[in-house]
Amino acid sequence: MNVSGEYWMILGMAAVTYIVRVSLWLGEGQGFPPLVRRVLNYVPVVVMPAIVVPSVLLPHGALWLDWRNPQLAGALVTGLIVWRWRRLLAAIVGGMLVFAAWRLAFAG
């Protein structure tokens, strides 16, 4: 992306942020319409994979689907723990332990 495109992207993000904040301030007490409330329920489900997937599958800027990928091993264990036991703290600790062990075992 060129410099001009980056400026337009930043200006667009600022405009959207400003519009959302002003609309909440001016429409105080009215609440969101039902459609907006329903759509907002899906925001965390969409944002989390958008943050996690690139860092797991593209840790060095290129696709890395190898058994030596510590981010992938940690993410798989985290997902397995959440799926099986539904314990978020256990999943975070388990995923971090696997990530650290994988990184120590296969570093370099």
Q: Which of 73, 62, 76, 75 is nearest to 106 (CA)?
A: 73
Is 107 within 8 Å of 90 (Cβ atoms)?
no
pLDDT tens-digit map of 31-61: 777 898 898 889 888 998 999 999 999 988 8
Is 99 within 8 Å of 74 (Cβ atoms)?
yes
Is 98 within 8 Å of 73 (Cβ atoms)?
yes
Is 106 within 8 Å of 68 (Cβ atoms)?
yes
Average of per-residue pLDDT across 65-85? 95
Query: Where along the chain do its domains lie?
Result: 46-106
* pLDDT greater than 70 at residue 108: no
Read off the pLDDT band of 29 (50, 70, 90): low
**pTM for the whole structure:** 0.66
